[in-house]
Amino acid sequence: MNSFEIIADRVNLVRESLRELELDAFIVPHDDEHLGEYIPAEAERLAWVTGFTGSAGLAVLLIERAALFIDGRYTVQARLQAPGEIFEYHHLIDTPHLVWLADQLERGAKVGFDPRLHSLNWYREADALLRERGIELVQVTDNPIDRHWSDRPAPSKAPVILYGEELTGMSSTAKREQIAADLRRRGLDAALLTQAESINWLLNLRGRDVERLPVVLGFAVLYANSTLDFFVDSDKLECFPFTQHVGNDVSLHPIDNLGEVLTRLGEDGLKVQADPATANAWCQLTMEQAGATLVAGQDPTLRLKACKNEVELAGMRAAHQRDAVAMVRFLAWLDRLVESGETAGVDEGTLADRLESFRKASDLYVEPSFDTISALGPNAAMCHYHHSNGVPRPFGQDGIYLVDSGGQYLDGTTDITRTVCVGEVDEEQKAMFTRVMQGHIALDQARFPRGTAGIQLDVLARMPLWRAGFNYDHGTGHGVGHFLSVHEGPQRIAPKGSMEPLQPGMVLSNEPGYYRENAFGIRCENLVVVSESDEQGEVPMLRFERLTYVPFDTRLIDRALLSPDEFRWINEYHAEVRRRLAPQLDGADLAWLEQATALL
């Protein structure tokens, strides 16, 4: 069968199940039951039934029609992968899937959904919207895709990593006690935890169940007496002194027992906190229907996890030092490549692989922290470009190369973007690069009192672009985890949705950019950590301590646009890069570092 026939066959199988179940439609989200950013291969239901492998999207299958809803990043990829004979394509935001779906159906129709794969908020909104149109939303726990997915990959059996206090700086018991005390203060009996990052942080565990996200998958219920029920494939824990590691008030349960325990919480009439935006509907409805009182609230680990302690920060600093050496070796190699002219066979993919080979030189390197964006020329204008979604662009025809990459190291997570000159660049490109750098510098130099939120600082990174009539269509900074997800909340620096006050220990990216469609793209990204500052004034201030020390490409700078303060920032930053990295480099790499960090 060709790929069209494979998808057609799968869609038909699901439609047969719909008829059996007397359903008129079934909704297939990209999410798994943890509703996180990264999902394991066995949860790629959307890809199985549509062919579309993007990291976000949702399909609606009706008996006669089907539609795929994707965002702007994936308009091209979706058309290449999901057959147009079967699927119509819609933009997730412009055409809300529920509104579209309601328009296809008559009153009395029934729509199936798997309550483990949607948030409670989604469920409540969907139920209200469809009910108003006389359509019934039906929970289907026997997912028709799972029923027909015969060659479904087996879930990972990778053993967990017991992540010790020498890396976490705080025992799991201490973390649980702190959060349990807060539950008690708020009169709550328990908190449901469904996000993999939260549970792994709380139990001082890591794992290899998902690519890019070093976690073991599971669920947990933390009680106000600081005991915890952990639902996990216990095969992954066998070879370890698990109880000794997490403390003996953690009880292990097979994942299949989750429903039973949640039902018991309900029968006991407990008051349970859960996050209706991030926890799946099934968990919460199971508790509620059994008699629990649900208290909507943000995952209670988020703020504690976001504010790294000194041990975690020491790991982050060490990982960044290692990562900087790999980046510099790559950038030096790249310059030599350009100089040599021997670029035959080099493309975006080989560049990304070469960069990873330098990272792999470290024993502590585990994997990339996300899929490397290795983008030449016009491809860099697509913020979420990935060379494997099409044909990687060959090297040699473009002036600018953008590489956004990061590593998962056992002691920390990195994320860095450098935009480098690999050919001819014009004055306009230099001017735009310089404005992006000016924004980066302005944010880097900020001082701010406690209570300041990311939304207040975002403008600093944009004003040099705004004053010239340009902008970029993404946030300026995301939170970063400690050997966890490279995207972590609640901290953020962006024009919207970033009201969380920045606190000491929070790690964030500083990554303004500029993108000219079909021409070029620029992004300058360091990671920073919120720290106490030492001004002599009256109000204690916070500042950003830099984690990333890798040269920015001064060949792309238009000096005429820089203020004296900006000149000084670049020179001081480069002097510090040299000071930190020179002892770990030699030969041609050291020579490269010296010229790349020379005084402007």
Residues in the site for a copy of itself, rule: CB under 8 A?
A: 445-449, 451-452, 455-460, 463, 465-471, 495, 533, 535-541, 563-565
Parallel, antiparallel or unpaired: strands 293-296 and 400-405: unpaired
Minimum Å distance from CB 306 to a copy of itself?
21
Tokens representing residue 387 in the block: 């060379």
Buried b (16+ CB within 10 A) or exposed e, 294-319: bbeeebbbbbbbbbbeebbbbbbbeb
Alpha carbon separation from 250 to 126, 213, 228, 464 (Å, rounded): 36, 23, 5, 52
Least distance between a copy of itself and beta carbon 47 (Å): 35
Contact indicator for 472, 538 with CB cutoff of 8 Å: no
Closest to a copy of itself by CB, 364 vs 541, is: 541
- Cα separation, 460 vs 464, whole angstroms: 8
- Give the nearest distance from C-beta 539 to a copy of itself in angstroms: 5
d(CA 16, CA 18): 5
Which CB sits closer to a copy of itself, 469 or 583?
A: 469
Cβ proximity to a copy of itself: between 242 and 573 the closer is: 573
Q: Which is nearer to a copy of itself, 344 or 539 (CB)?
A: 539
Contact, 434 vs 427, CB < 8 A? no
Min CB(536)–a copy of itself separation in Å: 6
- CB-wise, 255 or 519, nearer to a copy of itself? 519
In the complex, the smallest distance separating the C-beta of residue 385 from a copy of itself, rounded to whole angstroms, is 20
Closer residue to a copy of itself in complex, CB, 337/468? 468
Tell me the closest approach of the beta carbon of residue 100 to a copy of itself, in angstroms: 23
CA angle 481, 482, 484 (to 5 degrees): 65
3-state secondary structure of 289: helix
For 48, 116, 123, 352, the CA distances from 156, given in Å and listed in that order, are: 18, 19, 29, 26
In 338-411, DSSP assigns E strands to 365-368, 373-376, 400-405, 407-409
Cβ proximity to a copy of itself, 238 vs 538, nearer residue: 538
Whole-angstrom distance, CA of residue 290 vs CA of residue 261: 11
Residue among 105 and 541 whose Cβ is closer to a copy of itself: 541
Count of positions (residues) in the chain:
600
Minimum CB–partner distance for residue 435 and a copy of itself (Å): 10
Min dist CB 475 to a copy of itself, Å, is: 13
Sheet holding 407-409, edge to edge: 365-368, 407-409, 412-413
